[in-house]
Structure 1
Amino acid sequence: MEFSIVIPLFNEKESLPRLQKKLYKTMESISCDYEIIYIDDGSTDSSLTVLQGLKRSCSKMRIISLKKNTRKSAALLVGFKASIGKWIITIDADGQDPPEEIVKLLKFKDDFDFIMGIRKKRKDNFLRKVSSQIAKFFRWLVLKDITKDAGCSLRVFKREAIGALPLFRNFHRFLPFLVRAEEFSVKEVEIEHNQRKFGKSKYGVLERAWEGIFDLWGVFWLKKRWLNYEIKYKC
């Protein structure tokens, strides 16, 4: 299996049919061996029922439904463990990152271990965009993290790039930094960004800000205790 597409979701029943249609069309155009894994993170709407209906017309699709909402990082981890592809692709279920943009990222897979999007002309409200820029500044200040758009969920990476990483609550926000710390190569590529058509974001700005502060200092602690070594000689 070449590609595993992992999609965490929570209450996205309206977005799923459109996402699946575009995703299937994109991956079929690439002519590769792939699987699509939807992680229903304890949805309280009819997302699971919608997924079950979509699966009847797509043999490459798999569904994992969690008993309760565990948040995005945990849902991603479930998907990573269930996947079998050499490469993992992540994308949100809300449709804001167009599945067609996966092709742009795949152009760089022969030269980089981890490829991720930069949302060009981001279609989010002013407060969300400003809070992201503030978070970006503090990640650079505390961690010297050079990631331009850590909030972009469209990513393509080798399985081994995350194999030895310490995975914790909200690790997805720091994944590019952690991958770089393990000396894997990272490439950021500009992608289009859509306005959300259905529903609303599951996380408020204040909630993200408070969690981001605690997570940032947790990763700073981790960075200070990272085991670093250089091999002088071996035979």
Structure 2
Amino acid sequence: MEYRMTIIIPVFNEIDNLDRIFSTFTDYFSKSKTKSKVLFIDDGSTDKSFDKIVEICTDNPDFEFLKFKENCGLSAAIKAGIDHIDTQLIGYIDADLQTTPYDFDILLEDIDNYQAVIGFRGKRKDTLNKKIQSLIANSIRRGLINDGITDTGCPLKVIHTESAKRIPFFKGMHRFIPALILLQDGKIKQIKVQHFERIAGQSKFNIFNRSFKALRDTFGYRWMRRRYINYTIEKSKIGS
């Protein structure tokens, strides 16, 4: 049975979460009707994360990895994953497991009718400070681009690989994945998913990269949206 979905997991100094990722995904793979695998993207970790990733991937064909030479950021990690995937579907989840892979099966129920099915966190289990930061960032994005996306920061997503490979990439792209699919005239469905407290490791986000960078990147997206090229070929004759 061939893999249908590859699940991208960016990793930057998440040594305390990797054993839990391995055990959780191993159990999920044994229960899911969709044959899937994990692709770790080590984003230049400086702890022992990469050593643990190598250990997990050794003799476990459902787990693969890419390693960056240096830290490049979340958008670069997602891009690298998309660039190297050849399965029909791409899944995405964060290494903190504040969302659960078991909810992928809920998203997968509708993926044949949409270019992407994305989660939104119904009952957030974050700290008050993190909730405020996300509220500010989401309010900025909705006010400036009005993309209709409830929770663009929810890390649980399933996307058709063909659509994902057409996404134009830039730093901060991870904040606009649904909006960039909509630029392709793609269809998106949003589904409520579970959310949990972070129980290990440290969040990599703060008021600067959630709000100020989000504002800068939103203006970048608006500039690109006005100039985005989208076309449909009706007929063609190429070659002999």
Q: Does TM-score exceed 0.5, indicating one fold?
A: yes
Which structure 1 residue ranges, 4+ long, deviate > 4 Å from structure 2? Answer: 228-231
Correspondence for 1:99: 101
| Aligned match for 1:173, one of 172, 175, 180 | 175
1:57-72 matches, cutoff 5 A: 57-72=59-74
Q: Which moved more, 1:20-29 or 1:34-43?
A: 20-29
Q: Equivalents in 1 of 2:189, 2:34: separation in Å?
A: 22
Q: Match of 1:124, SS?
A: coil
Maintained 8 Å contact 2:141/2:214: no
User: Which of these residues, 163, 184, 187, is aligned with residue 186 of structure 2?
Assistant: 184
- For the residue of structure 1 that corresponds to 2:40, the secondary structure is strand
Letter in 1 for 2:5: F
TM-score (norm 1): 0.93
Take 1:122 and 1:8, find their aligned partners in 2: how far apart are those partners?
21
Match of 1:207 in 2: 209
Gaps of 5+ in 2: none
Q: Which moved more, 1:133-142 or 1:87-96?
A: 133-142
Question: Alpha-carbon deviation of 1:230?
Answer: 8.1
Deviates more, 1:118-127 or 1:22-31: 22-31
Instruction: Give CA-to-partner distance per residue, 1:127-157, whole Å, 9 cap, x none.
Output: 2212222222222221112100000111001
* Residue 63 (structure 2) pairs with residue 44 (structure 1): no
Q: What is the TM-score of this pair, normalised by structure 2?
A: 0.91
Q: CA deviation at 1:31?
A: 3.9
Matched positions, count:
234
Q: Tell me whether 146-155 or 102-111 shows the greater mean CA deviation.
A: 102-111
Q: Is the 8 A contact 1:19 1:99 kept in 2?
A: no
Q: Secondary structure at the match of 1:136?
A: helix
* C-alpha distance in structure 1 between counterparts of 2:97 and 2:50, whole Å: 17
Q: What is the alpha-carbon root mean square deviation over aligned residues? A: 1.8
**Residue in 2 aligned with 1:24?**
26
How many Å separate the matches in 2 of 1:144 and 1:52?
A: 42
Gaps of 5+ in 1: none
